[in-house]
Chains A and B, each alone.
Chain A
Amino acid sequence: MHAKRFIVLIVSLILLHSSWGPQFKFLCNPVLACHGCALSWFACPIGVFIHYSGWHSFPFLAIGTVLLVGVLIGRLLCGWICPFGFLQEILYKIPTPKFELPRWTAAIKYPILFFLVFYFPYKFGELTMFSFCRICPAGTLESAIPAYITSGFPQSIFSILLRLGALLIVLFLVIGNNRSFCKIICPIGTILGILNKIAFWQVPKPQTQCISCKKCDKACPTSISPSTKFSKQIPVNRDINCILCYECVYSCPETDQIDKKRR
């Protein structure tokens, strides 16, 4: 991880999750950070979508915010602000056998977004067991586990098992495959990833022919193979899984290849 990004991730983690900060719970910050956390400054757009679906109302503010951020900067916040993304990259450094995910897993995120964020809450209400908040690993870490510690376990053993089981599965996945949660599950990442295709912000293309050293491919946390995009002169962040972390740019040995003015 590049030092600049590491510092930004640490600072944003502390700044956006600190009790002394202001409360902007009426605004959505499009990263996976649970608003149930007492230290959180902003609302989680997924939690807001789920509640609005249950209320059968249209979330003008939340959708407008996510759309605006997505169109302007795509998934930039996933790479530079998201606390759960940061945790995944830290966990991936644990020396264990690494594995590749099958291709079909990339499609899991779409039904998760449709059913667990919009359809089931719309059908069964915002407090349904079939909502993403019930299995959200960020929510479990930031809100549910602290609540279990301070207030005791809830009566429903099923909800505890569901939450902790989902968290364990996600932790197992991210230790073996970097940012796998972002690639195959994250609903905010899915929305912003679609908007990556049209975002104003672009990772700069190489100015000269790529020498195919593949260092960018090794540096990429989401394994989107930036070298193939560079060789085709396509902006890397047109890929749905690109989190605009700029690791490919920083790792490029031919520094003149990439227009530094746009870094």
Chain B
Amino acid sequence: MSNNNIEKNIRILSLLLAIVLLLVSGFKKHRVLTTSDNTLPGNTNQPLLYVTNVNEFLMTEYATYSGIQKDEKGNLIIKTNKAGFLSETSSSINQTSSDKQACPT
């Protein structure tokens, strides 16, 4: 097989792989624990934990503002307020607020 044919085949295979990855991302769900942020006013001291399936698009968006953290047991955790909305302090689990400013990512 000539070099041109090898290159062509790799190109087509890479394109197919990219399409497969994008298709999988459309269905992929991540198991994430959601917890109420007891640091917010009005929330109880006992954090509630429940399992949420988060799709790939939302996971990518969470990655842009550290919306999800990994705990010591390896679980992915989202912190929400009492109403279930994402807490603005979600990225403060392992960071102080000043650290968060230092690295917005």
Binding site for B on A (CB under 8 A): 25-28, 34-37, 43-44, 47-48, 50-52, 54-57, 59-65, 67-68, 70-72, 125-127, 133-134, 139, 143-144, 147-148, 151-156, 159-160, 163, 195, 197-200
Contact = CB atoms under 8 A, between A and B. Distances in A.
Contacts of A44: 64, 105
Contact of A126 (B10, B14, B66, B101): B66
Contacts of B74: 56
Main secondary structure of the interface of A (DSSP, over half): helix
B97 to A, nearest CB: 9
B105 A139 contact: yes
Given A26-B58, A68-B18, A47 B64 contact: yes
Contact of A195 (B14, B20, B59): B14
B9 to A, nearest CB: 10
Chain B, interface residues (CB within 8 Å), range: 35 or more
Contacts of B28: 60
Interface string B67-92: 01010001010000000000000000
B57 A43 contact: no
B105 A34 contact: yes
Given A47-B63, A56-B74, A147 B105 contact: no
B24 interface: yes
Prevailing SS type, chain B contact patch: helix
Contact of A36 (B24, B61, B96, B104): B104
Contacts of B61: 25-26, 43
Contacts of A70: 14
A60 B25 contact: yes
Nearest to B67: A51
A155 B103 CA distance: 12
Given A26-B58, A200-B11, A64 B104 contact: no
Contacts of A55: 68, 70, 76
A35 B15 CA distance: 26
A48 B63 contact: yes
Contacts of A134: 103
Contacts of A151: 101
Given A159-B99, A198-B7, 9 more contacts: A26-B60, A34-B104, A43-B64, A48-B64, A55-B70, A62-B60, A64-B20, A127-B94, A163-B102
Given A51-B66, A67-B21, A71-B18, A61 B57 contact: yes
A144 to B, nearest CB: 7
B60 A28 contact: yes
Contact of A125 (B10, B30, B70, B102): B70
Q: Which 9 A-B pairs have the closest CB atoms?
A: A36-B104, A64-B21, A154-B102, A51-B63, A60-B25, A68-B18, A61-B25, A67-B18, A64-B22
8 contacts: A26-B58, A44-B105, A55-B76, A64-B19, A65-B22, A71-B18, A125-B94, A127-B94
A62, A127, A152 — most chain B CB neighbours (10 Å): A127
A61 B103 contact: no
A160 B98 CA distance: 12
B49 interface: no
B95 interface: yes
A54 B21 contact: no
B102 A147 contact: yes
B17 interface: yes
